Amino acid sequence: MSSPYSPSEEKVKADSYKGDVVATLEDGVGRDDVNAFDQRKGEELKHALLPRHMAMISIGGVIGTGLFLGTASSLHNAGPLGLWLGYLVMGSVCYAMMMCLGEMISYLPVPGGHIKLSERFVGKPLSFAMGWNYWYNWVIVLPAELSAAAVLMSYWSDANPAIWISVFLVVVVAINLLGTRAYGEAEFWFASIKIITIVGLIILSICIDLGVGKQGRLGFRYWKNPGPFVQYNKIEGSLGRFLGFFSVLVNAAFSFIGTEIVAIASAEAKNPRKSVPSAIRKVWIRICLFYFLGTFMIGLVCASNAPELTKGAKTASRSPFVVAINNAGIKALPSIVNAALVTSAVSAASSDLFTSSRALYSLAIAGSAPRIFARTTKRGLPYIAVAVSVAFSALSYMSVQSGASTVFGYFANMTSIAGMVTWFCIGIMYLRFNKAMKVQGMSRDVLPYKAALQPFCGWWTVCSTFIVMLFSGWSIFLKGNWSTSDFITNYIPIPFFIILYLGNWYYNRNNGAHIPASEVDLTTGLREIIEAEEPEEKPTTVMGKVWHFIS
């Protein structure tokens, strides 16, 4: 299929590009049918998310309990420098993946996001396997976050965790049933609280390091004693230090998983070809500020051998930030941090329900799930998909019983690797998209967002996620460390994905199992997307411009 676009010497301007593309499509090249997005009547989503919502959804996906609490075990296992380097490497993978996703989803922000685009760029088997893997990931993370919120409440209350699970579940369901606009508004304020919290903790950590508190000036004290690295599992030498660093990668992956939610949300955004690139461009700022600076400061103010990092329930008391605050003798702040963590967990649960329901909706319109899951209300809410995803939140009550909580823990712990599988697929998708553009003679100037270092970012995403998945459970193979449960949680998601892929490939082996680059569909639905664009409202006040830059 030949491309309607010819290379231009200058970057294509928005207005002329819109007119040229629409005119060309109307001439019949890349002709769209009535169901350009495979949606039927009663299956349409609404464009309700504003640019500020999209920006905060992207931020909310970056900041979570992984940064506040997950860094505790990473610091203990790897030391301050090992922690920082681990997040640096995984942050680069996250950045590369988002650059790939940003190019694709800003060009074609179709309902179904990357699940639907994978069918168009690669083939039905990848879309089927990735879609069900993605739905599983978020439908299991949902009850896990509800359980985490209940555990965080134990910092103040001894009430039965089931009570708090029920309370938070009602809040999360209410936010999602009120519609996409309500979800976007709630996530905007939740993410704002997260930003204020992490910025405040970073500033406070700088003050503590410079001498605020009863410890005096810390400087690089903890880099000298107990040292920049930890000898993992008491393995001496450079190997022990490297293994400590490598152990951080899977934990760091859990912290970053969720940044891709913006792709699923793009189909419900106003002017997605403008708002998505704006959100994607600022990913590197958020990663550098929140994670690179945050983990660096953690290593300065909290010792890797602090006993609080590994004991007790996963409340604020285990956070490296709170350990540093307590050591400095500051009394009131730990409760404030725990309150922010509760907010973060509820925010994450709300996003989990939104994402899992949209993933199931996407599978339905792609023909990979029963069509009934694609039904929507007049306000564009996929109510049946939401109801099914909510039903799985009942798994959170398993965490209350000791035996059941062990089984539930197996499912929840597999989500990190399931997330890596999704990132791996996004890298594969991008390489096919990039190749299809070259084969069909399409200039990259037509893309609303062009990332630097392509297709290197695509290859880095594929190779690095493959390595992390392959060696995610390496520690169980050390002498005396074998754990059947850890083996299952680290490796079962991979054969599960392969079985789904091969099964669908066999079923569709004669019907779109693999699409040659010359036949990849790069235009269907593009006309409708461009014609729906509205003029962008730019801020005029100084504060508005500052907020626009930050968000």
pTM: 0.87
Contact between 459 and 427 under an 8 Å Cβ cutoff? The reply is yes
- Quick one: pLDDT band at residue 15, thresholds 50, 70, 90? very low
C-alpha–C-alpha distance, residues 249 and 233, integer Å: 16
The single residue listed with the structure tokens 């995984």 is: 90
- Quick one: pLDDT band at residue 535, thresholds 50, 70, 90? low
Alpha helices in 287-414 (DSSP H): 293-301, 320-327, 333-365, 383-392, 402-413
C-alpha–C-alpha distance, residues 298 and 321, integer Å: 7
Q: Which of 29, 27, 78 is nearest to 298 (CA)?
A: 78
Tens digits of per-residue pLDDT, 353-365? 999 999 999 999 8
Task: Provide the pLDDT for residue 413.
Answer: 73
Tens digits of per-residue pLDDT, 476-517? 888 888 888 788 888 888 999 999 999 999 888 777 678 888
Secondary structure tally for the chain: helices H, strands E: 24, 0
Domain boundary assignment for the chain:
50-127+195-330+404-550
Residue 339's Cβ-count burial label (10 Å; 0-12, 13-18, 19+) is middle
Q: Which of 331, 404, 426, 396 is nearest to 122 (CA)?
A: 426
Q: Cα 210–215–220 angle (5° rounding)?
A: 50
Q: Which of 86, 206, 139, 118 is nearest to 415 (CA)?
A: 139
- Quick one: pLDDT band at residue 82, thresholds 50, 70, 90? very high
Q: Which residues contact 262 (CB under 8 A, 6 or more apart)?
A: 54, 57, 58, 61, 101, 105, 276, 279, 280
Task: Provide the pLDDT for residue 8.
Answer: 43
% of residues, the chain, pLDDT over 90 = 30
DSSP annotation string for 247-284:
HHHHHHHHHHTTTTHHHHHGGGBSSHHHHHHHHHHTHH
Residue 115, H or E segment: helix 113-121
**Once rounded to an integer, what is the mean pLDDT over residues 242-266?**
85
Tens digits of per-residue pLDDT, 449-478? 898 889 999 999 999 999 999 888 888 888
Q: Which residues contact 456 (CB under 8 A, 6 or more apart)?
A: 96
Residue 455: is the preceding peptide bond cis (ω within 30°)? yes
Which structure tokens are listed for 339? Answer: 């309150």
DSSP annotation string for 473-518:
TGGGGSTT---HHHHHHHHTHHHHHHHHHHHHHHHTTTTTSS--GG
Query: Which DSSP letter does residue 318 get?
Result: G
Task: Provide the pLDDT for residue 550.
Answer: 55
Tens digits of per-residue pLDDT, 317-354? 888 998 899 888 888 788 888 888 888 888 888 988 99
C-alpha–C-alpha distance, residues 33 and 28, integer Å: 11
Higher pLDDT, 196 or 3: 196
- Quick one: pLDDT band at residue 37, thresholds 50, 70, 90? low
Task: Provide the pLDDT for residue 177.
Answer: 92
Q: Which of 100, 125, 136, 109 is nearest to 37 (CA)?
A: 109
Q: Cα 243–246–252 angle (5° rounding)?
A: 145
